[in-house]
Chain A
Amino acid sequence: MAKKIKGPQIILANRLDDGRAVFFTPKQNWSYQASDAWLAIDEAAQQQAMEAAMKSDADNTVIGIEFIGASDSENGPVPTHAKHIIQNTGPTVRLDLGYQAEGAGA
């Protein structure tokens, strides 16, 4: 659940049926790509995003909803921490697995 961290944040969860890492988007759905995520800069935006994410969880599709640190880039938000970058892409030692292997549209 929500964890207090500083700075801009995005919301990460795991999909219930297969455990895949997914990110909450401004369209109020879940995407495999952190770059689609809703980057919530200040506390008010974070609260709003989390409320929306929790509401979307009412249909029981994701687990472990949490904020993670992120920064903005020209391609959209990027997780700050190596762990979340790896979650977003896949194992760095198996480039044939995870989102990195599937490309856009996965």
Chain B
Amino acid sequence: MYAYDKYDHAIVSARVAEFRDQVERRLSGALSEEEFRPLRLMNGLYLQLHAYMLRVAIPYGTLNSVQMKRLAHIARRYDKGYAHFTTRQNVQYNWPKLVEAPDILQELAEVEMHAIQTSGNCIRNTTTDQFAGATNEELEDPRPYAELIRQWSSFHPEFAFLPRKFKIAITAADKDRAAIRWHDIGLVLKQDAASNLGFEVVVGGGMGRTPVIGKTIRDFLPKDDLLSYLEAILRVYNAAGRRDNKYKARIKILVEETGVDIFTKQVEDEWTRTRNDGIDFPAEEEARIRAHFTPPPLEVLPAWSDLETISAKDPKFSSWLRNNTDSHKVSGHRIVTISLKPHGGIPGDATADQMDLVAELADSYSQSEIRVSHEQNLILPHVAERDLPALYKILNEAGLGTPNAGLLTDIIACPGLDYCALANARSIPITQAITNRFNDIQRLEDIGELKIKISGCINSCGHHHAGHIGILGVDRKGEELFQIMLGGSGDADASKGILLGRGFPADQIVGAIETVVGVYMDAREEGELFLHAVRRLGTQPFKEALYGNA
């Protein structure tokens, strides 16, 4: 993975020193809160219901074991012994003290991490496929491009004050695990007829109060032109994006209001004008970055024949193997998803001890590499098949072995009203109630792939618009209600969920989910997944079951 050079170190260290000075001036009263607030936000420090919250960037969701150990240490030393992995492949601490925030940033800088551009109207952490560099489904590892984007967008002076925040996602696989079409810019690595690599460029996706699926503005952009083309998009947006109304300031609104054809022409014109201005990285720089992503030296092994025998004897291991491991590009290896969704637990939360353990397991079994998925799980990307039984045993003993990846209880949920100052309703207790009810793995496997996503307000951090079942918490005269939508998807065939009707009180939501699942189970055709059944049936049968014919 990428390692900082002297410039990266110097920039990040300078930023820590600058923030330390700013915090001191705030605490002394030399800076007012009004003056200080944008400065702390630029360093990822928010103020939430109970305390400050520090959001730390995990570039494209890639961590090494040293970094994970440091994150655990920070959780223990400066926070309350745990951290929360987010839908942006980042990590958040819920209880840091202002006075200690510079020390935390210093600790992060020592392991080549920071919290820069995790807030504010700038280009945020670029996200990608959590299986990047390991899956046999990709054309090539997309992370060198994500790193190029990181370097180009970090402290980019022209794009530090965009109309609104800006999120880029990239994938190199047909199966979209990064919700590409729900981002301000989505990039899909492709090959043209002559086997040249390039990107399909998707623009104007986004969730929030106006959910929009991104539109392709270019079918094929030669890969070497990536940065100049991104710059052209950002320039058009920066100049024309609305600044009068924050709810209409995202690029999705600009694309909708301008019309995708005119918007595309504006981008192409800007690109024609500027593409030779030296924005794209020179080949040697790209090669330098790419060298950091050389695949690990995995031994090519024959498929491990004992795996089936062991699996046949242990149904729990068998479920975990089926649901939480995926095929690897190197024979004899698997990608392991560590579920941070224990039934009855808090999605995305991990204790410091669990984080330390994952780091140790990465050292022992996965080339010291760890990934964070936007679905709030952790990944060990390079595990030899013969190590799987031992790994599973250790994970299971530590509460990290729930075999539910991709199943109904692998729920994405935002922090909601238990932590978040913007929330209308609590997401986590709803998640816990659902996962406590659907806690039988056999039943979950029978139901099959079903993605539930829950947000505590319309800002949609829990991606409810993209849930096969989306749940949105709303506040109706002081009562928390939960609306259900069906048919959303973050995959390559992205779709927006359709609202079924009035919201349910918290104590009725589990019953409502049971009803929805029941309709599916009764109506599904042989092998038909929940999402496909909803698309075939439409929402009417589900509405009738939930609300009657009235």
Contacts and interface: CB of A to CB of B under 8 A. Distances in A.
Interface string A78-106: 00111100110011111001100000000
Contacts, number: 68
A76 interface: no
B50 interface: yes
A95 B42 CA distance: 31
Interface stretch (B186-194, B396-404, B415-423): B415-423
B478 A19 contact: no
Nearest to B48: A19
B33 A63 contact: yes
B80 A97 contact: yes
Given A17-B99, A18-B97, A83-B417, A93 B429 contact: yes
B179 to A, nearest CB: 26
B98 A18 contact: yes
A92 B426 contact: yes
A16 B478 contact: no
B51 A20 contact: yes
B480 A93 contact: no
B107 to A, nearest CB: 18
B169 interface: no
A90 B99 CA distance: 21
Contacts of A14: 47
B116 to A, nearest CB: 20
Interface string B85-98: 00000000001011
B324 interface: no
Contacts of B47: 14, 19, 63-64
A73 B148 CA distance: 59
A21 B52 CA distance: 10
A19 B51 contact: yes
Given A82-B478, A92-B429, A93-B428, A98 B50 contact: yes
Nearest to B423: A83
A33 to B, nearest CB: 14
A60 interface: yes
Nearest to B29: A60
B432 interface: yes
Interface size band for B: 20 to 34
Interface hub of A18, A19, A64 (most chain B Cβ within 10 A): A19
A84 B307 CA distance: 53
Interface hub of A64, A93, A98 (most chain B Cβ within 10 A): A93
A90 B44 CA distance: 22
B418 A92 contact: yes
Nearest to B421: A83
Interface hub of A17, A82, A87, A91 (most chain B Cβ within 10 A): A91
Contacts of A90: 50
A16 B27 contact: yes
A61 to B, nearest CB: 10
B287 interface: no
Interface in B421-476: 423, 426, 428-429, 432, 475
Contacts of B523: none
A80 B475 CA distance: 13
Nearest to A16: B98
B96 to A, nearest CB: 8
Contacts of A63: 33, 47
B109 interface: no
B478 A21 contact: no
B123 interface: no
A13 to B, nearest CB: 11
B50 A20 contact: yes
B12 interface: no
Given A20-B50, A82-B480, A91 B99 contact: no
B346 interface: yes
A79 B417 CA distance: 15
Interface string B387-405: 0000000000000000000
Nearest to A59: B29
B418 A19 contact: no
A17 B95 CA distance: 11
A36 B452 CA distance: 41
Interface string B35-56: 0000000000001111110000
Contact of B418 (A60, A80, A91): A91
Nearest to B432: A93
A91 B50 contact: yes
A17 B6 CA distance: 33
A98 B33 CA distance: 24
B492 to A, nearest CB: 34
A84 B419 CA distance: 11
Contacts of A80: 478
18 contacts: A16-B26, A18-B51, A19-B47, A19-B50, A20-B51, A21-B49, A60-B28, A60-B29, A64-B47, A82-B426, A83-B49, A86-B49, A87-B50, A91-B418, A91-B419, A92-B426, A93-B426, A94-B418
Interface of A: 14, 16-21, 60, 63-64, 80-83, 86-87, 90-94, 97-98
Q: Which 7 A-B pairs have the closest CB atoms?
A: A91-B418, A19-B51, A19-B52, A60-B29, A18-B97, A93-B428, A63-B33
Given A18-B95, A91-B428, 12 more contacts: A16-B33, A18-B52, A19-B52, A60-B28, A64-B47, A80-B478, A81-B478, A82-B475, A91-B419, A92-B418, A97-B50, A98-B50
